[in-house]
Amino acid sequence: MDEKEKEAIETGKEECQCKEGKVPDRQGKCVMPEVTFPAFVLSLNTSVLYHLGEIGDPVTGKREPDLDLARHGIDTLVLLEQKTKGNLLKEEEELLKNILYDVKLRYVKAVKK
């Protein structure tokens, strides 16, 4: 073990050896990240941005807007906001509100193109 590896272990800053999409658990086993409300909302946000053509395909890099699917994703976020009203932490509520505001504006801009 070289000095860089020793330092990484001592400081807890080891480089992750997990494949994309997985994270190490406390025992170092590669697992899917914990499902949290913010992670779920951010996942839906990413999907909407992809369907708006804001994010390219991860394999090809090609951007192919599909406004129907983008609208569906936005509707899902709106439904989530309605169904969770009064049951979220302030930070979760703000995250959802801000993401909805952002994707709705982007959707309107995309429709006007």
Q: What is the pLDDT of residues 29-55, one digit of tens each?
A: 888 777 899 999 999 999 999 999 999
108 and 62 in one domain? yes
43 and 23 in one domain? no
Mean pLDDT of 61-77: 97
28 and 46 in one domain? no
Average pLDDT, the chain: 88
Question: What's residue 26's pLDDT?
Answer: 83
Q: Which amino acid, residue 113?
A: K
Contacts of 39 (CB under 8 A, 6+ apart): 33
Helix residue ranges, H only, the chain: 3-11, 37-51, 67-84, 90-112
24 and 43 in one domain? no
Question: What's residue 10's pLDDT?
Answer: 53
The confidence band for 8, taking pLDDT boundaries of 50, 70 and 90, is very low
Domain housing 68: 37-112
